[in-house]
């Protein structure tokens, strides 16, 4: 059975078990403001309205190691704010008891505008995403039932859930929705790039301007729009990592045409999210650009946009173009987001 179908069924079962008791809670609504240069939201807030109480609960859960079997691996362990919520310097994610995962930790940003989550899109809804790491034996290695029992035994959580949800129940659906509320607030929209595009004062220097032109000509077909991703799944010419043999999107839909395809990542804050690719094989942006220029291989499903007219693979990039591209990509770094106290534990 497909992973996507299985996870969705679990979530629907969770929702069906929620209590409808009215505890008369008094939430404080939070308005979600979409940046003027951003697309419309994918997440439906009608099903999970943002409140101060729900966001605070989600934040507490995000930093709580008790969501894992050894009570030590919190969501925040692999998602560090100053690195756009990636696991800085780690090629692959780490989990309980020193376990090493088989994918690089993706950033958490602008999740309200995404349709699917993870390198392979196994989660079709933000509320579903935490189920995957929590129950993965390599990552957090816990059951949802055990997590709920630990939360019920805590002195703080009963009141926090009562303040956050109408039924006041400590259950999986409420836990997942609280996590979503916190993650939805992770909006990165105040980079130099954003300020330039909104006409707020800054302008690109000559090297950055050149880099933007190169980017629009040679990169934007995949890394498109304000989010710098078209949210598609593509084989970008990476050689197969023989130790991992990660088949990407194929693991979700089991279609041959999806072999070795991975979700096109957003390039926002890419300056701070090294190492790069689904397996973290490249440690610098220069190494990434060198790969696109001369390092691709065809593993059977390579994206047609990466095939040159002479049937060789790659994107022609001069050293000057690479330098300017890196300068432009650095304008996507958002210090406000990376240092915002509302996302920090303390």
Alpha carbon distance 97, 244 (integer Å): 20
Least confident stretch, 16-20, 149-153, 320-324: 16-20
Q: 192-335 has which fold?
A: Cytochrome Bc1 Complex; Chain D, domain 2 (1.10.760)
Least confident stretch, 3-7, 35-39, 119-123, 174-178: 3-7
Q: How many residues does the chain have?
A: 346
Average pLDDT over residues 254-282: 99
More confident residue, 212 or 19: 212
pLDDT band at 239 (very low <50, low <70, confident <90, very high): very high
Residue 341: what pLDDT? 97
Count Cβ atoms below 10 Å from residue 345 Cβ, excluding itself. Answer: 11
Residue 23: what pLDDT? 44
Q: Please check the confidence at residue 17 and state whether its pLDDT lies above 80.
A: no
Tokens representing residue 244 in the block: 């991992």
* Ranges of CATH 1.10.760.10 domains, the chain: 3-188, 192-335
Residue 12: what pLDDT? 57
Tokens representing residue 152 in the block: 């019920």
Residue 19: what pLDDT? 45
Q: What is the DSSP letter of 344?
A: S
Alpha carbon distance 317, 217 (integer Å): 11
Question: Is 326 within 8 Å of 285 (Cβ atoms)?
Answer: yes
pLDDT band at 195 (very low <50, low <70, confident <90, very high): very high
What is the architecture, at CATH level 2, of domain 3-188? Orthogonal Bundle (1.10)
Q: What is the mean pLDDT of the chain?
A: 95
Tokens representing residue 285 in the block: 């942006």
């Amino acid at each position: 059975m497909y992973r996507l179908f299985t996870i969705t069924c679990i979530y629907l079962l969770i929702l069906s078990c929620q209590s409808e008791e009215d505890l008369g809670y008094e939430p404080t609504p939070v308005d979600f403001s979409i940046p003027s240069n951003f697309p419309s939201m994918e997440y439906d807030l009608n099903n999970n309205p943002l409140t101060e109480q729900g966001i605070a609960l989600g934040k507490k859960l995000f930093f709580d190691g008790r969501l894992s079997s050894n009570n030590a691996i919190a969501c925040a362990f692999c998602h560090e704010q100053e690195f756009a919520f990636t696991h800085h310097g780690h090629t692959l994610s780490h989990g309980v008891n020193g376990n090493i995962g088989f994918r690089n930790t993706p950033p958490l940003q602008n999740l309200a505008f995404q349709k699917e989550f993870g390198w392979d899109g196994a989660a079709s809804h933000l509320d579903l995403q935490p189920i995957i790491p929590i129950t993965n034996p390599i990552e957090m290695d816990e059951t949802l039932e055990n997590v709920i029992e630990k939360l019920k035994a805590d002195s703080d959580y009963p009141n926090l859930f009562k303040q956050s949800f109408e039924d006041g129940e400590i259950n999986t659906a409420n836990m997942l929705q609280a996590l979503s509320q916190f993650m939805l607030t992770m909006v990165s929209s105040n980079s130099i790039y954003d300020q330039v595009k909104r006409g707020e004062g800054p302008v690109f220097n000559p090297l950055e301007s050149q880099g933007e032109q190169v980017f629009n000509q040679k990169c934007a077909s995949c890394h498109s729009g304000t989010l710098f991703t078209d949210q598609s799944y593509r084989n970008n010419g990476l050689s197969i990592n023989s130790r991992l043999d990660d088949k990407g999107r194929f693991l979700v839909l089991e279609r041959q045409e999806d072999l070795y395809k991975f979700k096109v990542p957003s390039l926002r804050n890419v300056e701070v999210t090294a190492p790069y690719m689904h397996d973290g094989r490249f440690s610098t942006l220069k190494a990434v650009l060198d790969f696109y220029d001369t390092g691709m291989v065809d593993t059977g499903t390579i994206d047609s946009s990466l095939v040159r007219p002479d049937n060789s693979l790659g994107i022609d990039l001069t050293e000057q173009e690479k330098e300017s591209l890196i300068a432009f990509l650095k304008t996507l770094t958002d210090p406000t987001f990376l240092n915002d106290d509302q996302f920090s534990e303390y």
